[in-house]
Amino acid sequence: MTLTVDEAEHGSWTVLSIQGELDLVSSPVVRRRVHEAVADGRHDVVLDLSEVLFCDSSGVGVLIASRRLLHSCRGRLRLILPARGAVEGSHVNRVMSALGVRRLFAVYPDVPAATRDDNDEQLSA
């Protein structure tokens, strides 16, 4: 399965919607898209992972690297991991939880919630 990344602007937020498998082969695509956003001066980024069907440690590594990059330029990174995914035990949730990194990210259920600027960063356990 291939990976696709669609980009949209929602107010001050750049939303990268990722579909497919986030693995060793495809994770450089996501890394590049996040770097391009930052290079273009867009420091508020949402990664919509609601359509990611598989994620390995390389994919998680890209999420962590993106968090570091945005933090270093005083930006913000938010993830979309829908509530239904947590209930159903989605693969991304399981992998991030197993590695103990899900708590590092501000996680939201959908684009409208993630792109509201009145949100405090929601770090989930």
Q: Lowest mean pLDDT of 14-23, 30-39, 67-76, 110-119, name the range.
A: 110-119
CA pair distance 117, 55, nearest whole angstrom? 28
The Cα 7–Cα 11 span in angstroms is 13
Q: In the predicted model, is pLDDT for residue 125 greater than 50?
A: no
What is the phi-psi region of residue 42: left when phi exceeds 0, alpha when psi lies from -120 to 50, beta otherwise? Answer: beta
pLDDT score of 87 = 42
Question: What pTM does this model have?
Answer: 0.88
In sequence order, what are the residues at sequence separation of 6 or more whose Cβ sits closer than 8 angstroms to the Cβ of residue 68? none
Q: Using 50, 70 and 90 to split pLDDT, how confident is the model at 117?
A: confident
Looking at per-residue pLDDT, the higher value among 77 and 125 belongs to: 77
pLDDT for 25-77, tens place per residue? 999 999 999 999 999 999 999 999 989 988 999 999 999 999 999 999 999 99
d(CA 79, CA 107): 5
Answer for the pair 80, 111: CB distance below 8 angstroms, yes or no: yes
